[in-house]
Structure 1
Amino acid sequence: MFRAKIFVLLRRPPNLATVFNRQCSSTNENNDVRVRFAPSPTGFVHLGGLRTALFNYLFARKHQGKFILRIEDTDRERIVPGSLESILDVLRWSNIQPDEGPEELGGSYGPYIQSKRTELYHEMIEKLLTTSDSVYRCFCTTKRLELLRREALKNRETPRYDNRCRSLTNEEIQKNLSENVPFTVRLKLQPGPMTINDLIYGSVTYDLSRIEGDPILMKSDGLPTYHFANVVDDYHMSITHILRGVEWLVSTPKHLMLYDAFGWPRPKYAHLPLIVNRDGSKLSKRHDHIRLSTYRNQGYYPEVIINYLTQLGGGFGQLNTANCDKIYSMDELVDAFDLKSVNQNNCKIDLEKIHQLNRLYMKNLIENDPNRIRNDLIEILQKNQEKFQTSLQFDNDYFDKILQWNLERIYSINDLIQEDFLFLWSQPKLTWLNDSSSFDSKQQIQQTLHSTINLLQQIEDFNDKDIILKQLRKLNENELSMKFNLYMKLLRLSLTNLTKGPPVAESIMLLGKNRTIQYLRNAIDYVQSNK
Structure 2
Amino acid sequence: MLLQLRLLSRQTGPWKRYLSTPARVRFAPSPTGQLHLGGLRTALFNYLLAKKTGGQFILRIEDTDQTRYVEGAVENLVKALNWAGIPHDEGPEKEGPHSPYYQSQRTELYRDHAKKLVESGHAYQCFCTPERLARVRESRQKQGNYIAYDKHCSYLSDEEIKENVDQNLPFTVRLRTPYEGTTEHKDLVYGSINFSNKTIDDTILIKSDGYPTYHLANVVDDHLMEVTHVLRGEEWLSSTPKHILLYKALGWKPPLFAHLPLLLNPDGSKLSKRSGDVHVEQYIAKGYLPEAIDNFVALLGWNPNTSDSVFTVEELIEQFDIKDINHSGAVVDHQKLDWINKHHILKRAETPEGLNSLVDILKPFVNKSYHQLEGTQQAYRLSNEYLAQVIDTIKERIRNISDIPSLCSYYFENPDYASADALALKKKLKKPALDLISNDEFKEKLSTIEPFEATTIKPWLYALSETNGLNPNHVMMALRYKVTGSRVGAGVAETIQVLGRETVMERLN
TM-score, normalized by length of structure 1? Answer: 0.76
Quick one: which of 100, 112, 117 aligns to 1:128?
Answer: 117
Q: CA deviation at 1:517?
A: 3.1
- 1:48–1:453: structure 2 CA closer, same or farther, 3 Å change rule? farther
Superposed counterparts of 1:223-238, under 5 Å: 223-238=211-226
Q: Return closer, same or farther for 1:470/1:51 CA change in 2, 3 Å cut-off.
A: same
Structure 1 residue 108 corresponds to structure 2 residue 92? no
Aligned partners of 1:74, 1:452: CA distance in 2, in Å? Answer: 76
Distance (Å, rounded) in 2 between the aligned partners of 1:218 and 1:95: 36
For 1:31 and 1:386, how far apart are their aligned partners in 2?
50
2:333 matches 1:350: yes
| RMSD (Å) for aligned C-alpha atoms | 3.6
State which drifts further: 155-164 or 111-120: 155-164
Query: For 1:340-368, what per-residue CA distance to the aligned partner results, in whole angstroms no more than 9, with x for missing partners?
Result: 3322222222222211111111112222x
Check conservation: 1:374, 1:399, Cα contact below 8 A.
no
Runs of at least 5 residues in structure 1 that lack an aligned partner in the other structure: 1-29, 440-447, 478-483, 522-531
Name the residue aligned to 1:56.
46
Query: How many percent of aligned residue pairs carry the same amino acid?
Result: 39
C-alpha contact 1:456 1:513 (8 A) present in aligned 2: no
Any idea what SS the aligned residue of 1:289 has? coil
Contact map agreement 2:149 2:202 (CA 8 A) in 1: yes
Among 128, 132, 140, the residue aligned to 1:140: 128
Equivalent residue, structure 2, for 1:424: 411
Mapping 1:16-27, distance limit 5 Å? none
Of the three residues 365, 368, 373, the one matched with 2:355 is: 373
Aligned equivalents of 1:43, 1:400: Cα separation in 2: 35
Unaligned runs of 5+ in 2: 1-19, 427-434
Q: Distance in 2 between matches of 1:350 and 1:134?
A: 46
Mapped to 2, the partners of 1:504 and 1:198 lie a distance apart of: 54
Letter in 2 for 1:175: E
* CA apart distance, 1:397: 6.8
Q: Which residue of 2 aligns with 1:385?
A: 367
TM-aligned CA distance change 1:429 to 1:157, over 3 Å: farther
SS at match of 1:381: helix
Q: Distance in 1 between matches of 2:249 and 2:234?
A: 24
Q: Distance in 2 between matches of 1:328 and 1:410?
A: 20
Q: In structure 2, what is the equivalent of residue 290 of structure 1?
A: 278
> Cα deviations across residues 36-86 of structure 1 (Å, max 9, x unaligned)?
111111122122211211221122222222211101111222222221111
Superposed displacement of residue 214, structure 1: 1.4
- How far has the Cα of 1:210 moved from its partner? 2.7
Please, which of 190, 196, 199 is the counterpart of residue 188 of structure 2?
199
The equivalent position to 2:311 in structure 1, one of 316, 320, 327, is 327
Task: Verify the 8 A CA contact 1:288 1:294 in the aligned structure 2.
Answer: no
In structure 2, do the counterparts of structure 1 residues 378 and 71 end up closer, same or farther at CA, with 3 Å as the change threshold? Answer: closer
Find the counterpart in structure 2 of residue 7 from structure 1.
none
Match of 1:413 in 2: 401
Contact 1:276 1:349 in 2 (8 A): yes
- The corresponding residue for 2:11 is none
> In the alignment, which residue of structure 2 is the partner of 1:76?
66
Paired letter, 2:261? P
- Normalising by structure 2, we get a TM-score of 0.80
- The aligned counterpart of 1:180 is 168
Query: For 1:393, what is the secondary structure of its paired residue?
Result: helix
Deviates further, 460-469 or 507-516: 460-469
How far the C-alpha of 1:149 sits from its partner, in A, is 3.5
Amino acid at match of 1:53: A
| Cα pair 1:313 1:345 within 8 Å, conserved | yes
How many correspondences in the alignment?
A: 460
Query: 2:100 aligns to what SS in structure 1?
Result: coil
Identify the residue that residue 67 of structure 1 maps to in structure 2.
57
Distance 1:357 1:499 in 2: 26
Q: Which amino acid aligns with 1:119?
A: E
Report the equivalent of 1:458: 445
Which residue of the other structure, out of 32, 55, 59, is the alignment partner of 1:42? 32
The structural deviation recorded for 1:212 is 4.3
How far residue 227 of structure 1 moved from its aligned partner, in angstroms, is 0.4
Q: Go from structure 1 to structure 2 and tell me whether the alpha carbon gap of 1:350 and 1:382 turns closer, same or farther (over 3 Å shift).
A: closer
In the TM superposition, residue 235 of structure 1 has moved relative to its aligned partner by: 1.1
Give 1:303 shift.
1.4
